[in-house]
Amino acid sequence: MTLEEYKKEFSDDDAVGWLSIDKEFETLYPGQEPKHFAPAISYMLGGEHPLDGVSFYESKKQTNHYHFVTYGFSELYYNEEKLDSEFSKWGFEITFRLKPFEEDNGNPGWVIALLQNIAKYVFDSGNWFEEYHYMPANGPIRLDTETDITALLFVSDPEIPKKQTPHGEVSFLQIVGITSAEYENLKEHPEKVEELVSKLKENNPLLITDLTRK
C-alpha cells in the first residue's frame, strides 16, 4: 500500500490495525457482538496494562468454547511511519480458546489478567513469541485452582491465517494450556514440541484449553 492509498483509505482517527483484527473475527463470527475488556487507563497514558483491549467470542465449533483475541501486540492506530513495515509492531496478536469452566460462572475474567501478564513480559523484556514456543505459568494458569494445566504452548490459531496489514505482518498465535508433565517433557525434549501439538490435535483439532484435562 502506498502512502497516498493509505491516506485515502484511512484518517488520523482510524484504528487501522484494530480494524484488521476485527475483520478476521467478524468473518468467523458474523453478527456476534463480542464481550470486550479494556483497561481504565491506557498504557500510552501511563496505565499498567500493555494491551489496549481483549475481546472474546462464543464459538460452537468442535465444542462450545470462548475464543479470545488481544489488541496491542501489533500496531493498532493510524501511523504513516509504520506503513509497509515487515512486521506490525511485535508481529502477532494472541488468541486463546477456553472450554467453559464451572467456577467462572460464565465470566472468565482471569484470562484477561493472564493475557495482560504475558504482554507485560513481552513489553518489559523485549522478547517475543513464535509458533512452538512454550513457557511455565509458575502455577495453575487460573490462579487458586486445582488443575494440571500449569504451562502454555504457542501455536498458530487453526482458523486464522497470518495476515498482511498496512503496518506489516501479523500472526495470530494461540496459547494452549498444557499439563505440568507435558511441560517437563518438553524441557527435556524440546525437539518434541511439534509431536505434542499433533498428539493434542488428534482429539482436539482447535486446541481448546480444558482446565479439567489431566
Handedness of CA 86, 88, 91, 97 (dihedral sign): negative
For residue 39, what are the CA distances in angstroms to 50, 52, 59, 68, 116? Answer: 9, 7, 25, 16, 10
- Residue 70, SS3 per DSSP: strand
Per-residue pLDDT in tens (0 to 9) along the chain, 214 residues: 899 998 998 999 999 999 999 999 999 999 999 999 998 888 877 888 999 999 999 999 999 999 999 999 999 999 998 998 999 999 999 999 999 999 999 999 999 999 999 999 999 999 999 999 999 999 999 999 999 999 999 999 999 999 999 999 999 999 999 999 999 999 999 999 999 999 999 999 999 999 999 9
Q: What is the DSSP letter of 162?
A: -
The residues pairing with 54 across neighbouring beta strands, listed in sequence order, are: 37, 70
Model pTM score:
0.94
- Coarse DSSP helix, strand, coil percentages of the chain, rounded to the nearest 5 percent: 30, 25, 40
Q: What is the DSSP letter of 86?
A: S
